[in-house]
A and B are shown apart, each in its own frame.
Chain A
Amino acid sequence: MKKILEIKNLTKYYGKTLGVKNLSLELNKGEIFGFIGPNGAGKSTTIRSIMNLINKTAGEVYFEGQRLEKDNINQKQKIGYLPSEIHLYDDMTVKELLDYHETFYHPKPHDKRCELVKRLNVDETKKIEELSLGNLKKVGIILAFMHSPKLLILDEATSGLDPVMQEEFYKLLKEEQEKGTTIFYSTHILNEVSKICDRVGIIKDGHLLKIEKIEELKDKELTFVTIISKEIDKLEKELKITPLEKTKDMIKIKNTLEINSLIKILGKYKIEKLFIEKATLEEVFLHYYK
């Protein structure tokens, strides 16, 4: 599969503080790549490094096989970027801003702009400073999408959008994907990753912990075990697992043991009730977060 974006050993320190370390990943043409992690994990640092807004301490970013340079106009024309917090020119109306945006692209992407304005129900007569967070986000989406980029870099794209508009946005993403657009999708919302992404990268404390296909992640054997027994304390000691929940005669654990070993241990005690649940995808993500 053709690689669109390649990040090689990206490292960024802010003084002595680590942003990201040795982060490497590849995005294939036409895929939606979810990029998730808790606050301060290094998501925005990674995106800002890709966009050349900050200087990398080490590492390289390649776009369509060529080093992504901050001043390469041809490359920039093929990238659409939606930052998590959008700051636009407050003195302009939406129409003026979109007209201004069009002037940077040849040919002017006027038709796509009109289509997106209609689809996202944006009032072009409003001033940017008058827009609500959701409407500002919609304008940001139009700006990122209107020139039909080959690579879309979206950071917290749905924050501020109402549920109906979120659904419309997911549809839009899928349509772009079908046209062959590659999408780098950074988010906090775990269920949107399972809904729209093909693969996911999980980042924590500046380190990329895992890259996996969503389908494979769903099949992960992460289980939660709830045990009710009068001998709960002894059982807990033998399991050597910190319980997620505990009462006088109940514990809930995230099972990291091989299933037969677990059964062997449980067999030694008088168990009153036993529940084994398969973790949801969100719980699998959280497992990596913690």
Chain B
Amino acid sequence: MLKRELKVNFKSFLIWFLLIIGIFSVVFLIYPSIASSENIKMMDEMLKIFPEEILAAFNMDISSLDSAFGWLKSEGFVFILLLTSCYAGIVGSNIILKEENDKTIEYLTSLPITRTKIVLTKTLVGLIYIISLILGIGIFNYIALSLSGDFNQKQFLLLSITPVLPSIVIYFLCMLISTFTHKSKKMLGMTLGIVFGSYILYMLSTIAEETEFLKYISVFTLADIRNVIKNTTINPAMLGISLILSILLFCITIIHYNKKELV
């Protein structure tokens, strides 16, 4: 079953991977000419006009656009974070639900296999692809950055890992929600809503002290990019919270799926 699931989900993984690599390839190809021109200094000067809170929302207060790595730290990793989270959410909401949506669940459950094993196998495949996507993007960016000059390798490594935390939590959250419906159609909007809604909450939480509490309800707080950029370290609390949330969501998914009416 594992082999089949890997095969079924490979195509969408490849499309997402190539899409993200394509976007970043364009940036890495044109960035040297942007960075070497006078315009980039003007852009940095112009950014100083913006309120600190807005700059903080895009990490521009702690990084500069004068190099490809600087761009990655400010905007690049936000893209990676959002795109990998979208991918994780879509995989999570579909990987189990697809069998019901395609009505193949009647066949699958007639086989000598437990529902728990079905969920476990599918979950593992989803995790493999999410981590592969993040890893693949990391390797690509590493090669591209190496070709474009020096950069802080430890900081890059940690920044490349951070999308794993919110992505995994979103993956398990969407998987759990998917066990409450029978149709995949309903899930796409909800998944994108969760990802972008959560990111908006995170951005709002960085803007003002009054809205700071919003970080407690956004999964993107777990990525902790600002801390990684500032201190070149991942907060172990974020790792712990991500792990606990994922395990909790996964356990509820298994319990609920075992009770679910599948047709």
Contacts and interface: CB of A to CB of B under 8 A. Distances in A.
Contacts of B104: 87-89
Interface string B240-259: 00000000000000000011
Interface in B90-134: 102-107, 109-116
B239 interface: no
Given A71-B115, A73-B113, A100-B4, A87 B103 contact: yes
Prevailing SS type, chain A contact patch = loop
Interface string B219-263: 000000000000000000000000000000000000000110111
Nearest to A78: B112
A74 B112 CA distance: 7
A122 to B, nearest CB: 16
Interface in A67-92: 70-71, 73-74, 76-77, 79, 81, 83, 85-91
B8 interface: yes
A51 B109 contact: yes
A189 interface: no
A267 to B, nearest CB: 58
B106 A53 contact: yes
A87 B110 contact: no
Given A53-B262, A87-B102, A70 B115 contact: yes
A55 B259 contact: yes
Interface residues of A, number: 28
A105 B112 contact: yes
A143 B114 CA distance: 18
A159 to B, nearest CB: 16
Interface residues of B, number: 22
A256 interface: no
Contacts of A76: 110-113
B112 A104 contact: yes
Contacts of A51: 106, 109-110
A54 B111 contact: no
B64 to A, nearest CB: 48
A52 B4 contact: no
A54 B261 contact: yes
Interface string B3-26: 010001000000000000000000
A211 B65 CA distance: 81
A53 B112 contact: no
A90 B103 CA distance: 11
Contacts of A73: 112-114
A189 to B, nearest CB: 22
Interface in A35-57: 48, 51-55
A51 B263 CA distance: 11
B114 A71 contact: yes
A104 B222 CA distance: 40
Contact of A79 (B4, B107, B110, B115): B110
Contacts of A230: none
Given A53-B262, A54-B263, A71-B115, A87 B107 contact: yes
A101 interface: yes
Of B102, B111, B116, B262, the most chain A CB neighbours within 10 A belong to B111
Interface string B151-190: 0000000000000000000000000000000000000000
Contact of A104 (B111, B115, B116): B111
Nearest to B114: A71
A52 B107 contact: no
B112 A48 contact: no
Interface string A143-165: 10000000000000000000000
A89 B263 CA distance: 17
Nearest to A85: B103
Of A85, A87, A90, the most chain B CB neighbours within 10 A belong to A87
Contacts of A48: 263
15 contacts: A53-B109, A53-B261, A53-B262, A54-B262, A70-B114, A71-B258, A79-B110, A83-B107, A83-B110, A88-B104, A89-B4, A90-B102, A91-B8, A103-B1, A105-B112
Q: Which 10 A-B pairs rank lowest in CB-CB distance, beginning with the nearest?
A: A87-B103, A71-B114, A76-B112, A81-B110, A77-B112, A73-B112, A54-B261, A104-B111, A53-B263, A53-B262
Interface of A: 48, 51-55, 70-71, 73-74, 76-77, 79, 81, 83, 85-91, 100-101, 103-105, 143
Given A48-B263, A89-B104, 18 more contacts: A51-B106, A51-B109, A51-B110, A53-B261, A53-B263, A70-B114, A70-B258, A71-B114, A71-B116, A83-B107, A83-B110, A85-B103, A87-B103, A87-B104, A87-B106, A90-B102, A104-B113, A105-B112
Interface of B: 1, 4, 8, 102-107, 109-116, 258-259, 261-263
